């Protein structure tokens, strides 16, 4: 978990003693208010996990809560990644990575870890599109196929939820093509460049109050948040 250790260590460059203002664990997303509003995917089995210090998470500093990212409890790990994201000021140019993939994926072999909304459009322009999912939808492949197909891809797009479930480092090791880490959970941190990532595609929350309300009220698909976020990319 060296990448995770490095993400947390890199927070030493910011005010990690900043107070955690609020934590919302929604059905699909987790939101943490620290210096900024950070989010992460909730990968937890909702009825099985016991979260440490529940009811007292806002008594922790950003660095203390970020340590939860190391947990194998997926709700805790999601809280930890959201805490990391709340400590990193999002930067980069405004660009929806969907537009980048549709323009640059023409005639290419693309491996995508995670079933993103642009999949159907991307299938029309790519030479090959392999989508890997733990629970495959129609046309997807099981995540175990990634070991065999990612090395063949010209472009590799990896969901940032793989940071939560600790698969990110192996996926990056497999990638030989142009590599993107994407999704609202993505830390806008240059640490990812040290692991071979070419493009970091995340978000900036423009309305913290409404974002947290949407998370608490069961927001799921990213399009439900489009009025409270901006899409950003950073390139190596």
Average pLDDT over residues 48-53: 86
The pLDDT of residue 16 is above 90: no
Give the per-residue pLDDT at 49: 78
How far is 76 from 67, CA to CA, in rounded Å? 9
This prediction's pTM: 0.95
How far is 180 from 178, CA to CA, in rounded Å? 7
Give ∠ CA 46-139-161 in degrees, rounded to 5.
35
Q: Which domains does the chain have, with CATH numbers?
A: 2-91+204-231 (3.30.390), 93-202 (3.40.50.11590)
Higher pLDDT residue, 183 or 11? 183
Give the per-residue pLDDT at 200: 98
The pLDDT of residue 154 is above 80: yes
Is 31:81 a contact under the CB 8 Å cutoff? no
The pLDDT of residue 17 is above 90: no
For residue range 184-221, list pLDDT tens digits in order. 999 999 999 999 999 999 999 999 999 999 999 999 99
């Amino acid at each position: 978990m060296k990448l995770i250790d490095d993400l947390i260590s890199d927070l030493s460059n910011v005010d990690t003693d900043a107070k955690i203002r609020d934590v919302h664990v929604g059905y699909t997303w987790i939101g943490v208010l620290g210096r900024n509003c950070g989010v992460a995917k909730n990968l937890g089995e909702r009825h099985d996990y016991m979260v440490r210090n529940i009811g007292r998470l806002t008594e922790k500093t950003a660095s203390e809560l970020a340590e939860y990212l190391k947990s194998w409890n997926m709700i805790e790990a999601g809280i930890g990644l959201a805490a990391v994201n709340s400590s990193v000021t999002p930067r980069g140019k405004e660009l929806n990575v969907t537009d980048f993939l549709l323009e640059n994926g023409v005639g290419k072999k693309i491996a995508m870890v995670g079933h993103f909304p642009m999949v159907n459009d991307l299938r029309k322009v790519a030479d090959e599109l392999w989508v890997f999912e733990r629970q495959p939808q129609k046309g997807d492949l099981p995540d175990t196929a990634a070991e065999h197909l990612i090395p063949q891809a010209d472009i590799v797009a990896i969901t940032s939820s793989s940071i939560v479930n600790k698969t990110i480092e192996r996926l990056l090791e497999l990638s030989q093509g142009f590599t993107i880490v994407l999704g609202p959970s993505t830390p806008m941190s240059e640490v990812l460049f040290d692991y071979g990532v070419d493009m970091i595609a995340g978000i900036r929350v423009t309305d913290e109050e409404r974002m947290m309300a949407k998370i608490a009220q069961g927001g799921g698909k990213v399009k439900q948040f489009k009025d409270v976020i901006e899409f950003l990319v950073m390139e190596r």
